[in-house]
A and B are shown apart, each in its own frame.
Chain A
Amino acid sequence: MSSENVFKKKISRRDYLKFMAAAAGMTTLAGCAVPAPAPAETTGAAPAAAQAGPKRKVIFVTHDMNPFFIPAIVGLKDFGKMANWETQFIGPPIHDTQKTIELQYNAIAAQPDAVGFTAVDSEAFIEPIKEAQAKGIVVVLYNTRAPGVKEATGAAYVGQDFVVAGHKAGYELGKYITKHTGRTEGLVVMPIIAPGHFALETRNSAGAEGLQRYNEEFGTNFTTEALATTTNADEAIADFEAKWAADGDKIVGWLAADFTHTFVGRWAKKNNLVGKFAVGGYDLLDETLQNIKDGSVDFTIGQNPYGQGFLTAALIFQELERGYPASDIDTGAELIDASNIDAVMEREALWKEAGKELGFELETGG
């Protein structure tokens, strides 16, 4: 887009600054390890329409419409309302690469001004991203960008660095194992709901590396083992029970690649096992936070899914209306444990209210 065209858009400097200030606020929040309540305009009621720019059509496609993405939808809609956009958020009901690609192509066929895509594989998503770019559609990736996609497409990314998050989780789990069990060796079970999912597999392998670093520093010998499970709580708990029956004497911790540590906490409470092992994982389900509060889960790592919607939209706005190319934003690996759980629960309640005003029942965050 030429600079001449860019400045023909009916956007005041004040509006632009408002958007960028909000985006900068979110970036700071994302990178901040200690959570703090976010500004009222991004956490409370949905922002009022500002009629700030031309009517743009922006479509986000995700690889899996699970409740984790609801804050991302809210984030997109919040920004879309401010920018007077027509927004859409789509994805297959369960993780499915083929269907995700189909939906990406359908989104491109809808001739939007910009798209937000997830790219959970190094090869499969390059073609649709390139096709969108060739048609002049702005593409920003969010939540997951597999290795090689940036090199092949140049598309910017808003989301967590899964290696950093995994290292942090693995090392943290080591500390809690020592605290709870006092043992120097044992097995850490790593539940994973979608084997083959780039982000989850990366978290697991990086988690094992983080735990290994703890082993080297403290002379322990904790090993890891993946456990395929599901998002269905009953089935997941049955998996945990079976694993506990088989290896209960060896298990010293559970480190989920996703939010299933919540189910570990639920199961541990029901069976009086709280404190017999360490429990950690990712994302911010309501129940996860409650479990941290009552001690059945030790920690969870957040990735700010609201920011993944809002900041991705902000980058799109920046490129569409001002011509500045989007660049990567790390939405962080926020550690939530007993030390900051109250502040986080207060913050998440605010997001929940914002979600309700947009017509969603927020069950989880990240």
Chain B
Amino acid sequence: MNQDAKKLVDSKAVDALLDTLEEGAADKTIIRAGGRALWMARLRGTSTVIAALLIFVGLSLATPLFLKLDNLLLVARQISILQIIAVGMTFLFISREIDLSVGSIYGFLAIVLATLIAKQHINPWVSLAMVVVLGGIIGLVNGVITTRFGIPSFIVTLGGLSILRGGALLLSGGWPIALKLGEDSTFPKLTDGRLFGTVPAQIFWMLGITIVASFVLSKTKFGAHVYATGGNEEAAILTGIATKRVKTISFMLTGALCGIAAGLLLGQVGSGFPLTGQGFELDVIAAVVIGGTPLWGGAGSILGTLLGAAIIGMITNGLVLLGASAYFEPVAKGSIIVLAVLADTLIRRRAR
């Protein structure tokens, strides 16, 4: 446990915790004890909103192409898959865990889904349900190994990253798998179609998942337990929260969301690629961190992650519109990640 966490445990948190254990209102106490963390998260969230607005206004002034409706919808569509996976990662970050295998889970599930549809001729929606469940099972394995055997999640999932990438290659034989769905299939229509003739379906999936996840995280008991687990795990255990279960569920949620993301990808491109998601974990982590969820857990929000994903999407799109060199994009993304972490650190220092 780091010094900051110890301070929290040593001072207000433990006192409040003991009081409330007697009163039998543990969840409220945990939230109150994490009040400082929540205040920090709000401050950090504000800085994310300001950053997103600055980039939006800056790009709008720099090129008239940016503000066009088609282009804004393009940016929103392009961040859909990133945001969906980043939702799961936000749960993990808040509970102070990480999943480095998300890119590989996403790629592996894309190949499994393509295999089920194209080679086993199973209905696409049934296949999608199967890969969502499979994603949850992969998350369960990650969660159980991490929590029951005490192995750090970055090591467990680093192994998973390699295993699942190899699994995708073995399953596909190295070749892409084309879906070849008929024109009457509802799968591409509902995963890649245009609702009202304009808005890409992926945006609705992204918004739906974001709203539900945001509600779960901010308004339910499970959400409070996630914050409590990441904010102060020892205190959370003392109040009776099953932190191992909370973390495992967060891993499962992340895996299941990778399954949905794989379905949206296949609906759009019509093929499964064994190298799908290679390096994608870095983009996902970037979205979460830029969105204000700290690496040390206990704070953060789904809406912040959405803003983080939007910032990444606007940079990628804006650099192309501005005619910038392809080599500049990683520099820009990396710089923003560093600035985001720097902002976190400064806010934490001021909060002490």
Which residues of A come within 8 Å of B, CB atoms?
Answer: 59, 65, 86, 88-91, 93-98, 101-103, 105-107, 109-111, 121-124, 126-127, 192, 194-198, 201, 226, 228
Residue of B nearest to A91 (CB): B326
| Contact between B276 and A106, CB atoms less than 8 A apart | no
Q: Is B270 interfacial (CB-CB < 8 Å)?
A: yes
**9 more A-B residue pairs beyond the given contacts A94-B278, A95-B275, with a C-beta to C-beta distance below 8 A:** A96-B276, A98-B273, A124-B271, A127-B268, A195-B174, A195-B275, A196-B275, A197-B275, A228-B169
How far apart sit A102 and B70, CA to CA, in the bound complex (Å)? 14
A-B interface contact total, Cβ < 8 Å: 104
| Contact between A226 and B326, CB atoms less than 8 A apart | no
Q: How far is the CB of A91 from chain B (nearest CB, A)?
A: 6
| Contact between B275 and A107, CB atoms less than 8 A apart | no
- Looking at the complex, which one of B172, B268, B279, B320 makes contact with A90 (CB distance below 8 Å)? B320
By a CB distance below 8 angstroms, the chain A residues around B276 are 96-98
Residue of B nearest to A89 (CB): B326
Q: Is B351 interfacial (CB-CB < 8 Å)?
A: no
| Contact between B81 and A98, CB atoms less than 8 A apart | yes
Residue of A nearest to B330 (CB): A93
How far apart sit A126 and B269, CA to CA, in the bound complex (Å)? 9
Q: Is B43 interfacial (CB-CB < 8 Å)?
A: no
By a CB distance below 8 angstroms, the chain A residues around B210 are none
By a CB distance below 8 angstroms, the chain B residues around A123 are 176, 178-179, 269-271
| Contact between A65 and B71, CB atoms less than 8 A apart | no
With A196-B169, A196-B176 as contacts: A97 and B269 at CB distance below 8 Å:
yes
Q: How far is the CB of B223 from chain A (nearest CB, A)?
A: 30
Which B321-344 residues have a C-beta within 8 angstroms of A?
Answer: 321, 323, 325-327, 329-330
How far apart sit A105 and B317, CA to CA, in the bound complex (Å)? 9
Q: How far is the CB of A330 from chain B (nearest CB, A)?
A: 24
Interface string of B47-70 (1 = CB under 8 A from A): 000000000000000000100101
- 23 CB < 8 A contacts A-B: A59-B320, A88-B320, A90-B325, A93-B330, A97-B176, A98-B81, A98-B265, A101-B268, A107-B320, A110-B320, A121-B269, A123-B271, A124-B176, A126-B270, A194-B275, A195-B174, A195-B274, A195-B275, A196-B169, A196-B174, A196-B273, A196-B275, A226-B174
Interface centre among A65, A195, A228 (most CB of B within 10 A): A195
- Looking at the complex, which one of B175, B269, B280 makes contact with A101 (CB distance below 8 Å)? B269
How far apart sit A306 and B178, CA to CA, in the bound complex (Å)? 32
| Contact between B278 and A96, CB atoms less than 8 A apart | yes
